[in-house]
Structures are given as structure tokens and as C-alpha cells.
């Protein structure tokens, strides 16, 4: 029996099983089995057929990478060519783009790589079409645009989310606050700082026994589900922010547009007429969480034309120096900072200081 068939069998059994106290151990085991089988799909064994295929591995450029994911013919290629000026094969029929097409967009002084990925078809996570390679590239993105046709119902959105979830991509979610540590002996020790309403101790034991883990400390810092625990044990999940880009709004009424605005993380646009691109780019900037830092040579005005762009997770003075040139840190004495990250302007700081968007920095070298 193939992996896909075994997955189907377990999913059917889970659908048949009533969830109550008596079956919680069994359900926990089934969910863990399912996660292990899905991991086999993610990392196929053997030499053949698992390669990236034509044009799938794209060299990373710029400070961030945005991937366009969606069903064929929702307007991904049109949107990309309007945003970046890069030509991706455009057609009014399905499956026009067959390889990953990269482009670069300049926004607020930052170079952002845009990838037009081939259209996803249902069953991509099970290896249908070129779905597996498409989603493998999507895993390397800093942000995902799920491009949807506003006329086709939101079922498309659910199908794509399910395909990405199957590949270990978690959209608009934070990693679960669960601390999991294996140990040599002492059995299973489970603690929680908040009441657990979504899972029982039996389910936790069932999952751990399915992974052959008999000695571990598990600490829950939030009300987590069994799926969150499996994500932590698997350890190969990727948490990526996502924007739902609802294209072709020129074909709907104002009332329908008001309804669309109620969908969380959604931006309605019309790629053909370039409608609402400003909001799309602004939302993209917010989700990417980038910071612009301006350099100021001694005795001169700051250079506002070419900021140094970094992610807010890595925005210390040390990261800033590294981004410009590795050799700067060797001669680093201190830095003067103007902006929102300091209490008074300028302020003398060390290399551990964390910078904020639009700060101005002057580096002082050792004499």
C-alpha cells in the first residue's frame, strides 16, 4: 500500500471515530501516525523523481522573498509583470506558467524578490502535478501571496491552505508555546501553566508512544491542541505570514467588495487595471517586518536615498555592520544613533543595541 493510500485510510478511520474520553488515546495515536506518513511525503526516499525539476531552484536575491501561490489562471503572472516588469507567460487558459519565474520589486529602498510559482492543483501535497516542487519553493519564502479569483468561491482558499498545511507550512501562525525535551530516564513529565481544554494527558501519551518517546519533559505555556504538540515533535514546520490577494475586483459590485474587506489578511486588487496596488505593497511591507536604517558619515548629512534594509528580528548594530561589510566589526568602537530606538538624539550605543525603522546610524572606528 502506498503512503498516500495509508494516509487516506487513517483519515477515514479518524472521520469514523467518535471523539470522547475512551477514544482520546486512539485518536492521538492516529494523528501521530498521520504526521509521520506526511513527513515521508515531504522527504521522499530514493534517488529518482525527488529532484527539483526544471527551473525550480531559484537563487535568493534581495532582503526578502515573496511567493505567489494560487490555482492556474487567477492572474498571478499578470500581477507579477505589473509589479516587477518581469514577463511571465500570461494566458487566459489554465497552466500557462510551468516553471518558477523570479522578479525583483523595489519598495521603500528595499529589494524584494518576487516568485511567480506554477499554478497549484488539488492534491499537490500528494505529489500530483508539480505541486510538490511548487510548495517546496514556497517553504523558502518570507511571505506568501495566495492569489485568488474573486469570482471563484472561498473554497479555493481552503484547498490551498490545506495543501500548504500538508507540507508543514503554517500560515499567519506563531510557533506553539510548548517546551519539549527528551531525556534518558524518568518517564513522561507533563506540566502546564494554563488550563488545557483541547487535549488530554492520554492523548499526549498516545502521541509520544507512537513516536517511541518514553522519557521526556513536556511543558505547555498556552492552551495547545494535539496538532500543535505534533508540530513541535516533528520540528520541521515553517511559520510564514500570508496575504490573500483577491484579484479581478473589476467584475464585482461595491457591496460584494465591502464583504471581501471583512476577510482577515485579505487585500482586494485588480491586476489588469493596477487597482489597489498601494494597499497591497503597504500590507506586504508590514508583514515582512523590515526596517530601514540610514547611514551617516562623520560631518556629513545622512544618506536617505540608499537605506540598509534588514529584518526586525536581526536589527542590532552588529547585524547592521555585518550587512555593510564583515570587516567593520573588527574596527568597531561605538555607534551614534538618531531615531525612535534611543532616548536622546544622538545616543552613544554598543553593538548589542537594537535599531528601529528609519533610525540614522554613525559608526565610530577604533583609532
Single residue among 234, 256, 272 that ends a domain in this structure: 234
- Based on the domain organization, do 139 and 210 belong to the same domain? no
Residue 336 located in a structural domain: yes
pLDDT of residue 239: 94
- Based on the domain organization, do 131 and 17 belong to the same domain? no
| pLDDT(77) > 70 | yes
- Based on the domain organization, do 158 and 68 belong to the same domain? yes
323 Rama sector, left if φ>0, alpha if ψ -120 to 50, beta otherwise: alpha
| pLDDT(187) > 60 | yes
- Based on the domain organization, do 160 and 186 belong to the same domain? no
- Based on the domain organization, do 158 and 73 belong to the same domain? yes
- Based on the domain organization, do 149 and 257 belong to the same domain? yes
pLDDT band at 74 (very low <50, low <70, confident <90, very high): confident
Alpha helices in 98-224 (DSSP H): 131-138, 155-166, 201-210
Read off the CATH number of the domain in which 164 is found: 3.40.50.300
pLDDT band at 91 (very low <50, low <70, confident <90, very high): very low
- Based on the domain organization, do 128 and 276 belong to the same domain? yes
Q: Which residues of 4-27 are buried (b: 16+ CB within 10 A; e: fewer)?
A: beebeebeeeeeeeeeeeeebbbb
Residue 55 located in a structural domain: no
- Based on the domain organization, do 244 and 104 belong to the same domain? yes
- Based on the domain organization, do 269 and 315 belong to the same domain? no
Does this model's pTM top 0.85? My answer is no
pLDDT band at 129 (very low <50, low <70, confident <90, very high): low
| pLDDT(28) > 50 | yes
pLDDT of residue 101: 72
Q: Which of 67-76, 84-93, 96-105, 303-312 has the highest mean pLDDT?
A: 303-312
- pLDDT tens for 30-66 read 989 988 888 877 665 444 444 444 445 677 788 899 9
Look up residue 99 and give its DSSP letter.
S
pLDDT band at 132 (very low <50, low <70, confident <90, very high): low
Residue 113 located in a structural domain: yes
Domain span including residue 315: 290-365
Residue 195 located in a structural domain: yes
Residue 56 located in a structural domain: no
| pLDDT(280) > 70 | yes
Residue 53 located in a structural domain: no
Read off the CATH number of the domain in which 356 is found: 3.10.20.30
- Based on the domain organization, do 265 and 295 belong to the same domain? no
Single residue among 286, 318, 352 that ends a domain in this structure: 286
The C-alpha cell of 126 is what?
500528494
- Based on the domain organization, do 35 and 105 belong to the same domain? no
pLDDT band at 80 (very low <50, low <70, confident <90, very high): confident
Question: What whole-number percentage of the chain has pLDDT above 90?
Answer: 43
- pLDDT tens for 218-247 read 999 999 999 999 999 998 899 999 999 999
Q: How many domains does the chain have?
A: 3
- Based on the domain organization, do 89 and 149 belong to the same domain? yes
Q: What is the three-class DSSP state of 228?
A: helix
| pLDDT(154) > 60 | yes
| pLDDT(182) > 60 | yes
Amino acid at each position: 500500500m502506498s503512503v498516500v493510500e495509508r494516509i487516506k485510510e487513517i483519515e477515514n478511520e479518524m472521520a469514523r471515530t467518535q471523539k470522547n474520553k475512551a477514544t482520546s488515546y486512539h485518536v492521538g495515536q492516529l494523528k501521530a501516525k498521520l504526521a509521520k506518513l506526511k513527513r515521508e511525503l515531504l522527504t521522499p526516499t530514493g534517488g529518482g523523481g525527488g529532484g527539483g525539476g526544471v527551473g525550480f531552484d531559484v537563487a535568493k536575491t534581495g532582503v526578502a522573498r515573496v511567493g505567489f501561490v494560487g490555482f492556474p489562471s487567477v492572474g498571478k503572472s499578470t500581477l507579477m509583470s505589473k509589479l516587477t516588469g518581469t514577463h511571465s507567460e500570461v494566458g487566459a487558459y489554465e497552466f500557462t506558467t510551468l516553471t518558477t519565474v523570479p522578479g525583483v520589486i523595489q519598495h521603500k529602498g528595499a529589494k524584494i524578490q518576487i516568485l511567480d510559482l506554477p499554478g497549484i492543483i488539488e492534491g499537490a501535497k500528494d505529489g500530483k502535478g508539480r505541486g510538490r516542487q511548487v510548495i517546496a519553493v514556497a517553504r523558502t519564502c518570507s511571505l506568501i501571496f495566495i492569489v485568488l479569483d474573486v469570482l471563484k468561491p472561498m473554497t479555493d482558499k481552503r484547498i490551498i491552505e490545506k495543501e500548504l498545511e500538508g507540507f508543514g507550512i503554517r500560515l499567519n501562525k506563531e510557533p506553539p508555546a510548548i517546551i519539549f525535551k527528551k531525556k534518558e530516564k524518568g518517564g513522561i513529565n507533563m506540566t502546564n501553566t494554563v488550563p488545557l481544554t483541547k487535549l488530554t494527558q492520554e492523548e499526549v501519551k498516545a502521541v509520544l508512544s507512537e513516536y517511541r518517546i518514553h522519557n521526556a519533559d513536556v511543558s505547555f505555556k498556552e492552551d495547545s491542541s494535539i496538532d500543535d504538540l505534533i508540530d513541535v515533535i516533528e520540528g520541521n514546520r515553517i511559520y510564514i505570514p500570508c496575504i490573500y490577494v483577491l484579484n479581478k475586483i473589476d467584475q464585482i459590485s461595491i457591496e460584494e467588495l465591502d464583504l471581501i474587506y471583512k476577510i482577515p489578511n485579505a487585500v482586494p486588487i485588480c491586476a489588469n487595471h493596477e487597482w489597489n496596488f498601494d494597499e497591497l505593497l503597504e500590507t506586504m511591507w508590514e508583514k515582512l517586518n523590515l526596517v530601514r536604517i540610514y547611514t551617516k558619515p562623520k560631518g556629513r548629512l545622512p544618506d536617505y536615498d540608499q537605506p540598509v534594509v534588514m529584518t526586525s528580528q536581526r536589527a542590532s548594530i552588529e547585524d547592521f555592520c555585518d550587512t555593510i561589510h564583515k570587516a567593520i566589526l573588527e574596527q568597531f568602537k561605538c555607534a551614534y544613533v538618531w531615531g525612535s530606538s534611543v532616548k536622546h538624539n544622538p545616543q552613544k550605543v554598543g553593538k548589542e543595541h537594537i535599531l528601529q525603522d528609519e533610525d540614522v546610524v554613525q559608526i565610530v572606528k577604533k583609532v
